[in-house]
Chains A and B, each alone.
Chain A
Amino acid sequence: MKNLLAFLQKYFHWVLFVTLEVVSLVLLFQYNHYQNSVWSSSANVVVGKIYEWSSALDSYFSLKKVNENLTLRNFYLERQVSQLRRLYQESQETQSKEERKALADVSQYSLVPAKVISNATNTPDNLMTIDKGSKDGIEEGMGVVCGAGIVGITYLTSTHYTVVIPVLNSRSSRISCAIRGHGYFGVLRWYGGDSRYAFVEGIPRHARFKRGDWVETNGYSSIFPEGVLVGKIVEVYNSRDGLSYKLKVQLSTNFGNLRDVVVVTDKSFAERVRLMQAANDSLKLNVRE
């Protein structure tokens, strides 16, 4: 008996080792009895809680990506809504196949999501930098929008970055826009000061609209697709020469906390530029001759 105890004491760890291995292997090969082993799986309360925390943390880190996607998605839907609204209005009167085809226009533009990396709203001529450049297919003169509405136009492009002239640039920003549902168009300008308000000039005197109407882009320039939100009319003034109206517009884009934007690259844009250049060149040749 004494010998046995001494033996056990000396080789206790080997006995323990074998026992533990047997337990492990039983667990390993008996696992098919799933119901009996809920405690030893991730269905365990403590383990479940830890996984819950960890995934909460994960989802926090992926918020950036989620945000980016939402901006893109929001912009896309916004445009679809405006297309549909127009189509609906027109279909009340006449309905032609070609108008319905306009919906397909959405694919004429491709979108490049970007991040604002520097921005200012406090000077009269603000500039903004985004983290996408010519490598991502961005060229000068493309429209920049965000989920809430219009942002500006690309101005200078390097390989990886682009300088944007936002609406909040009193010297250089002139964007063509129109009153939603009425079609009267004017030019969006900003004169410094409060970054929440801008002005639309050149609305004809005979135009009928009211405060609270929405102003959106009109798609004439092909920089912006039709129907991107600009803002809401809050005040109406006469222009200095008395020939047109000047509207004070509350911008739908909050430039103060802008993070995610989308650059609208018009696929037919390059073609149009080439055509214009060709036209100009041939005119010059004709003049010279």
Chain B
Amino acid sequence: MSTDFLKRLGLFFVFLLSQAVLLGRIHLFNCATPLFYVYFVTMFPRNYPKWGILVWSFLLGLMVDIFFNTPGLAAASLTLIGAIQPYYFELFVSHDAAEDLRPSLSSIGSLKYTNYIVVLVLLYSLVFHTLEMFSFFNWLHWLMCVVGSTIVTLALIFTFEVANRK
């Protein structure tokens, strides 16, 4: 058990509980819900074992699902992000960058980081709400949910990133 694993495990529960107890109950304008736990998946450093990212993402998604009675929904969406994350992050780093570079505002610069995080969060929100609405499709509501959740989640993530930069 490395310290990295333990730290990640701690973070895992912090994200899970914050979502279950606090954030998951927020429904701004009846649709914009912070999906803050996706931040957990975007934090994996370069060259982290890909299967590890997948397992972490799947488990976090599953646990969130258990709390919100939506089995498979967050798990499916978050696993997808977990699969994409290592490849996508690779696009933003130069080849001579550190082997275990962690995606953050300070490590890759604010412009690149914004680009990186916006796409991942938007994709997550898109997949999540699309799967959620599988049975009942109202495209205006769907669009509002996707955009609303993305904005709220990004606001939270940037708050934390800026706070951690110092």
Q: Are A41 and B71 in contact (CB under 8 A)?
A: yes
The 0/1 profile, CB within 8 Å of B marked 1, for residues 35-50 of chain A is 0010011101001001
Q: Give the residues in chain A near B82, CB-CB below 8 Å.
A: 17
Say whether B21 contacts A54, CB under 8 Å. yes
Contacts of B38-76 to chain A: CB distance below 8 A = 49-51, 54-55, 58, 61-62, 65-73, 75-76
Flag whether A59 is at the interface (Cβ < 8 A). Answer: no
Task: Give B128 Cβ to nearest chain A Cβ, in Å.
Answer: 11
Kindly state the separation between the CA atoms of A6 and B62 in the bound complex, as whole angstroms: 30
- Would you call A27 an interface residue if the criterion is a C-beta within 8 Å of the partner chain's C-beta atoms? yes
Cα distance A24–B131 in the bound complex, in angstroms: 11
The DSSP consensus for interface residues of chain B is: helix
Please report whether the interface of chain A is mostly helix, strand, loop or mixed according to DSSP.
Answer: helix
- CB < 8 Å: which of A21, A27, A31, A41 contacts B80? A21
A42 touches B67 (CB 8 A): yes
How many Å from the CB of A228 to the closest CB on chain B? 41
Interface size on A, residues (CB 8 A): 24
Chain B residue with the shortest CB-CB distance to A29: B72
Q: Are B75 and A23 in contact (CB under 8 A)?
A: yes
Which residues of the other chain, B, contact A13 by a CB distance below 8 angstroms?
49-51, 54, 83
> Could you list 9 A-B pairs, sorted by A, with CB under 8 Å?
A13-B54, A16-B51, A24-B61, A24-B62, A28-B70, A28-B71, A47-B20, A51-B20, A51-B67
Q: Which residue of A lies closest to B79 (CB)?
A: A20
CB contact under 8 A between A27 and B66, given known A12-B51, A21-B80:
no
The contact of A27 among B17, B65, B67, by CB within 8 Å, is B65
- The reply on A283 being an interface residue by CB < 8 A is no
How many Å lie between the Cα of A20 and that of B79 in the bound state?
7
The number of residues on chain B lying at the interface, defined by a beta carbon within 8 Å of a beta carbon of chain A, is: 27
Docked pose: A41 CA to B66 CA in angstroms: 5
Nearest Cβ distance between residue B123 and chain A, in whole angstroms? 15
Interface string of A121-157 (1 = CB under 8 A from B): 0000000000000000000000000000000000000
Taken together as a complex, chains A and B put the C-alpha atoms of A50 and B54 apart, in Å, by: 26
> Footprint of B on A, CB under 8 Å?
12-14, 16-17, 20-21, 23-29, 31, 37, 40-42, 44, 47, 50-51, 54
Asked if A50 contacts B73 (CB within 8 A), the reply is: no
Known A28-B76, A50-B17, A50-B20; contact A20-B65, beta-carbon cutoff 8 A? no
Q: State whether A21 and B66 are in contact (beta carbons under 8 Å apart), knowing that A16-B54, A27-B71, A29-B72 are contacts in the complex.
A: no
Give, as a whole number of angstroms, the nearest-CB distance from B69 to chain A.
Answer: 5
- A13 closest partner in B (C-beta): B50
- Asked if A27 and B21 make an inter-chain contact with CB atoms under 8 angstroms apart, the answer reads no
Per a CB cutoff under 8 Å, which of A24, A37, A44, A50 touches B58? A24
Task: Please give me the 6 A-B residue pairs with the lowest Cβ-Cβ distance, nearest first.
Answer: A27-B72, A28-B72, A24-B76, A13-B50, A24-B75, A27-B71
Is A17 touching B83 in the complex (CB atoms < 8 A)? yes
List of B residues within 8 angstroms of A37 by Cβ: 71
Return chain B residues, CB-CB under 8 Å to A40. 62, 65-66, 71
* Contact A44–B66 (Cβ < 8 Å): yes
The answer to whether A20 and B54 have CB atoms under 8 Å apart is yes
